Amino acid sequence: MLLRFVAVLIIYVIPGAVAAYGFKTMRDTLYLYFDPAVNQFLLGKFFLGFVLFVIGVAIIAGFILHRDRKKNLVQPRFQKKEQI
């Protein structure tokens, strides 16, 4: 039971938290840009948030695709190509 909890934590919660933090960082950067008192765009902070968001979503999506391929639940175009 404990191993399943750890597996769910590693596979879903940690990448989800990374993606959520990346989204929050991008959102805060855009809010700062449209604030009349600040009115600056922090490109580095926005790019870091974008990278974190993409990494988190890619890990979760890759795991779901891997799991569905093992159970033959995906369409033929998402099946692995046979090596010749």
Q: Are the C-beta atoms of residues 57 and 26 closer than 8 Å to each other?
A: no
For 15-25, the pLDDT digits (tens) are 999 999 999 99
> Per the domain annotation, does 51 fall within a domain?
yes
Structural domains in the chain (count) = 1
Q: Look over the chain and give the mean of its residue pLDDT values, rounded to a whole number.
A: 89
> Per the domain annotation, does 30 fall within a domain?
yes
> 76: which DSSP letter?
G
Q: Closest Cα partner for 18 from 63, 47, 59?
A: 59
Local structure of 63: helix, strand or coil: helix
Domain of 41 in residue numbering reads as 22-70
> Per the domain annotation, does 13 fall within a domain?
no
Q: Model-level pTM?
A: 0.82
> Per the domain annotation, does 17 fall within a domain?
no
> Per the domain annotation, does 56 fall within a domain?
yes
Q: What is the token pair recorded at 43?
A: 């490109």
Give residue 47's Cα distance to chain centre: 14
> Per the domain annotation, does 37 fall within a domain?
yes
> Per the domain annotation, does 43 fall within a domain?
yes
> Per the domain annotation, does 15 fall within a domain?
no
Q: Are the C-beta atoms of residues 57 and 20 closer than 8 Å to each other?
A: no
